[in-house]
Chains A and B, each alone.
Chain A
Amino acid sequence: MFEYLFDSANWSGPEGIGARIFEHIWYTAAALGLSTLIALPVGLLIGHTRRGAFLAINLGNAARALPSLGLLMLAVLLTDQIGFLPVLIALVALGIPPILTSTYAGLSGVDAATIDAARGMGMTGREILTKVEIPIAMPLIISGIRGATLYIVSTATIAALVSLGGLGRYVVDGLKLRDFPQMFSGALLVALLAILLDALFAVASRVAVSPGLRNN
């Protein structure tokens, strides 16, 4: 089972395990970065103004039902090209809803009395957002990004089906060659990567909580 993984010849070179891990992380980081760049401001806007909440909530629910494989294939066929772009589109589409929904949920969970107090102290809307709402919502915002990361890491595996690199290559190629140890290695590495990233976010959410809130 582990012979593929522990053969040093499989680790080096442009198609080695090292390079595949790097590719996988690169796809994940690019898609996560772009999803956050889009979803975070929109979530903050909806949460701060309390307008469009209906959209934020239902988008989250509907997205959970979206089959990632179908989305990927749809992106490839609609853009009519194979490669990084359709995969990025599909991954970003999967990454946006969890971030948007939890950012909104985090902001809307801030006690109205707290916001009133901040306004009473003379804070402007921008100050309330950056100094009160975001710090209080931070644990939920991070949990949204964490959820999006898990989605993206696992779906990036499927990207190998549309001839991209990453750890999914071992799964897809191994399946074609009936080479189970190779498939197993790919699957195991993806699982380890997911657990590692999840643990990183668990640490991040501890660090990111404002010291003033930590003892509650």
Chain B
Amino acid sequence: MTWVGDNLGLIWDQLREHLYLAILPVILGLLIAVPLGYLATRYAWLANPLIAFGGVLYSLPSIALFIVLPAILGTQVLSTINIVVALTIYTVSLLIRNVIDGLRSVPPEVRQSAIAVGFGSVRRVLTIDLPIAVPVIFAGLRVVTVANISMVSVGAVIGIGGLGELFTAGFQRDFLTPVVVGVVLSLLLALIADLVLVGLQRLLTPWARVISMVKVA
């Protein structure tokens, strides 16, 4: 316990780095997956190859991706960019399926009403299609956020890994406390991130609560 007190600054820095390395890819991945998913609903032949390709990318071990990426990107092996790009790839490959499923879940009559009332395609996608797809997209976001938070630690093998560095530090000195602190904080971070996403989803879909209240009444 004295170790924790003595190293609060270090733990805090690593927690912040961990959060940054896990969440930035989620945001980037979402920004890439939504337009891709939209294209796949617009040009239906794109959907299956995109989902299949995503499946293959998702099966790549993270440590392998962290190492192979520098060769492709021309970055340094020990650069945080590799972690961010690798996790962004995972995010996109998993989210693409949810975005496509979500956009497909928009009832055709709703879409047609929007067109009939005079919505242009951009305004329709942003204000009608995406909000209706929110629950399905968020289901994917929750999975990928939690997975990213646990995957960042693996980066510690190549020297960048937020809380993962507590694991390697503890291991090298045969000292249990940093490892336990790292595992607990990593789990807590995942739990909090998940709760934030649940809250965000409620904020973005206020009608969902109204509908369930109407059903109860």
Q: Mark A133-175, 1 if CB is under 8 A from B, else 0.
A: 0000000000000000010011001100110000010011001
Are B61 and A154 touching (Cβ within 8 A)?
yes
Contacts A64-B143, A65-B146; A70 near B186 (Cβ below 8 A): yes
**In the bound complex, what is the Cα–Cα distance between A68 and B28 (angstroms)?**
24
Are A171 and B149 touching (Cβ within 8 A)?
no
Which of B67, B147, B167, B186 is within 8 Å of A184, CB to CB?
A: B67
Are A67 and B59 touching (Cβ within 8 A)?
no
Are A150 and B156 touching (Cβ within 8 A)?
no
Are B183 and A70 touching (Cβ within 8 A)?
yes
Is A209 an interface residue, CB under 8 A from the partner? no
Which of B125-133, B170-178, B206-214 has 4 or more CB atoms under 8 Å from chain A? Answer: B170-178
Are A194 and B61 touching (Cβ within 8 A)?
yes
B163 CB contacts on chain A under 8 angstroms = 67, 70
Are A64 and B164 touching (Cβ within 8 A)?
no
**In the bound complex, what is the Cα–Cα distance between A16 and B126 (angstroms)?**
55
Is A100 an interface residue, CB under 8 A from the partner? no
Which of B64, B153, B157 is within 8 Å of A175, CB to CB?
A: B157
Q: Please give me the residue from chain B that is nearest to A72 by CB atom.
A: B167
In B8-38, the 8 Å CB interface with A consists of none
Count B-side interface residues using an 8 Å CB cutoff. 46
- Across chains A and B, the number of contacting residue pairs, with CB separation under 8 Å, is 131
Are B64 and A191 touching (Cβ within 8 A)?
yes
Q: Mark A88-120, 1 if CB is under 8 A from B, else 0.
A: 000000000000000000000000000000000
A154 CB contacts on chain B under 8 angstroms = 61-64
Name the residue in A65, A187, A191, A195 with the highest tally of chain B Cβ atoms < 10 Å from its Cβ: A65
Is A183 an interface residue, CB under 8 A from the partner? yes
Contacts A1-B71, A70-B182; A158 near B191 (Cβ below 8 A): no
Name the residue in A73, A188, A198 with the highest tally of chain B Cβ atoms < 10 Å from its Cβ: A73
B149 CB contacts on chain A under 8 angstroms = 65
Is A177 an interface residue, CB under 8 A from the partner? no
Q: Please give me the residue from chain B that is nearest to A172 by CB atom.
A: B157
Is B200 an interface residue, CB under 8 A from the partner? no
In B44-100, the 8 Å CB interface with A consists of 55-56, 59-68, 70-71, 77
What distance in Å separates the Cβ of B91 from its nearest Cβ neighbour in chain A? 14
Contacts A1-B71, A77-B174; A195 near B60 (Cβ below 8 A): yes
B179 CB contacts on chain A under 8 angstroms = 70, 73-74, 77
What distance in Å separates the Cβ of B199 from its nearest Cβ neighbour in chain A? 17
What distance in Å separates the Cβ of A49 from its nearest Cβ neighbour in chain B? 28
A184 CB contacts on chain B under 8 angstroms = 67-68, 71
B68 CB contacts on chain A under 8 angstroms = 184, 187-188, 191
**In the bound complex, what is the Cα–Cα distance between A70 and B167 (angstroms)?**
6
Are B64 and A187 touching (Cβ within 8 A)?
yes
B64 CB contacts on chain A under 8 angstroms = 154, 157, 186-188, 190-191, 194
Known contacts A65-B149, A161-B168, A195-B56; 5 additional CB pairs below 8 A are: A66-B183, A73-B168, A77-B171, A175-B157, A194-B59
3 closest residue pairs by CB, A with B: A154-B61, A65-B190, A187-B64
